[in-house]
Amino acid sequence: MPRNYEIAELKRLDVAHHLPAQQDYKLIEDMGGSRIVTHAEGCYIHDGDGNRILDGMAGLWCVNVGYGRDELVEVAAEQMRELPFYNTFFKTVTPPTVLLAQKIAQHTGGKLQHVFFNASGSEANDTVFRMVRHYWKLKGEPKRTVFISRWNAYHGSTVAGVSLGGMKAMHAQGDLPVPGVEHVRQPYWFGEGFGQDPVQFGKDCAAAIEERILAVGPENVAAFIGEPVQGAGGVIIPPPGYWQEVEAICRKYGILLVADEVICGFGRTGQWFGHQTYGFTPDLVPMAKGLSSGYLPISATAVSSDIVEVLKTGGDFVHGFTYSGHPVAAAVALANIGIIEREGLVERTREDTGPYLARALTRLLAHELVGEVRSIGLLGAVEIVSKKGTNQRWLGAEGNAGPVVRDLCIKNGLMVRGIRDTIVMCPPLIISHQQIDDMVDIIGKSLDEALPVLRAL
């Protein structure tokens, strides 16, 4: 839109009328309104106060190809002129929607040859929820309704998304989860397995899934759902072997395996999908974010041919959204995937920038506040501790160290997220070596500045 606004007035209107996502409205009021982000290019965002900020979060884990891609703007404008909208309810579909389904199937590969479109990651998981239960009924096993998930998982903000997710604070609002969701421990070695052999810890976490399956009764379990790497939970990278164990357990009891790739998809971990990085084969794959690099809202749920064959025996699957397969979003997603392919961003993440980030992060290990650094591809985390060599948090400030360091990072020109006592990062896949160094240097400087603040807490 034209830049004919006053920033101070926008802030006032923000407080007066706008309710932001996942936010404390009183806090925003006390701040005098949200930061107004006005424009962006490449890996940088700009705010109304004149700050240029390196975007270490790729928007919200999504702007994989970076900002300012005119090619995507032109594709959107062309598709809007041609056909701005049509639905997929009336035995109808639009060209970009079909071509995008084919393109996704090409990258998921194997039996994941079918795609259901939605507008958000949460909806992609709602589709999983309803499709899986419907599938088991059609298959003649109607008791299989239970989903097993992990504590601290994030699967969205809708009723099904929050229920599948394992965020206790989210469950508390809205009396969730809905019945039929069981949560087990997460493979968070630094937080919950510190001092143990990581591989054995991963095995124990997988064994917790089997124990729950047996407790619930395998005949009642529909699916296990997990993010290949838990993103919003704090970039929790599972120990080697964890996913192989989980896959074997699901197969042993005939349970469907769902890989929530909303963050891990489209190159983030150095392969097209996180399950490819970890070497397992899911039956359903919800995805969003990097699918369109956030240029327009769109998500997809990839489904195996085995499941679709069963769905074909059931008449209408009475599920779907007005914006399922939106032609403009689909055209932009298709062009976005074209950029990722053409520029080799998946390979670059795997072979160049991912390893470069991993090496750069090790520089922070010398800092007295840092307990661990970890990364996979361009997804990284820094654990903040009160006592070097331990996983102890700041006494009296448990969960506060992340936000303290995050705020200092933003002041110093880097957008990152603070999740409890962890700083997480997820930059655009176009990030350069120099920008990775800048990111790590700013985190280091912010940790220095955080020390007296944390001591005073």
Contact footprint for ligand PMP (CB under 6 A): 61, 120-122, 125, 154-157, 161, 227, 231-232, 260, 262-263, 288
- How far is the CA of 424 from the CAs of 19, 137, 187, 237, in angstroms? 25, 40, 17, 12
The nearest distance, CB 381 to ligand PMP, in angstroms, is 14
The tokens describing 450, both together, are 């955080």
Which of 268, 272, 274, 322 has its CA nearest to residue 298? 322
Helix (H, G, I), strand (E, B) or coil at 250: helix
Q: Which is nearer to ligand PMP, 234 or 444 (CB)?
A: 234
Shortest Å distance, C-beta 71 to ligand PMP: 23
- Nearer of residues 97 and 120 to ligand PMP, judged by Cβ: 120
Question: Shortest distance, CB of residue 129 to ligand PMP, whole angstroms?
Answer: 12
Nearest to 375 by CA among 387, 390, 395, 361: 361
Nearer to ligand PMP, 100 or 364 (CB): 100
Q: Which is nearer to ligand PMP, 156 or 191 (CB)?
A: 156
- In the bound state with ligand PMP, the residue whose beta carbon lies nearer, of 62 and 401, is 62
Q: How far is CA 316 from CA 82, 138, 160, 319, in A?
A: 30, 12, 21, 8
* Separation between Cα atoms, residue 36 and residue 11, nearest integer Å: 7
Identify which of residues 122 and 400 has a Cβ nearer to ligand PMP in the complex: 122
Nearest distance from residue 231's CB to ligand PMP, in Å? 5
What are 376's strand-pairing partners? 379
* C-alpha R_g of the chain: 22
Peptide bond into 355 cis (omega under 30): no
Beta strands across the sheet bearing 422-425: 370-376, 379-384, 422-425, 417-419
Amino acid at position 153, single letter: A
Residue with nearest beta carbon to ligand PMP: 121
> Which residues, at least 6 apart from 209, have a Cβ–Cβ distance to it below 8 Å?
148, 184, 224, 246, 249
Distance of CA 319 to the CA centre of its chain: 24
Least distance from C-beta 323 to ligand PMP, angstroms?
13
Could you give the CA distance from residue 124 to residue 126 in angstroms, rounded to a whole number? 6
List the one residue out of 133, 156, 122 whose CA is nearest residue 299: 122
**Closer CB to ligand PMP, 276 or 386, in the complex:** 276
> Nearest approach, Cβ of 389 to ligand PMP (angstroms)?
32
Q: How far is the CB of 161 from ligand PMP (least distance, A)?
A: 6
Smallest gap, in angstroms, from Cβ of residue 286 to ligand PMP?
A: 7
Nearer to ligand PMP, 288 or 440 (CB): 288
Beta strands 181-184 and 146-150: pairing type?
parallel
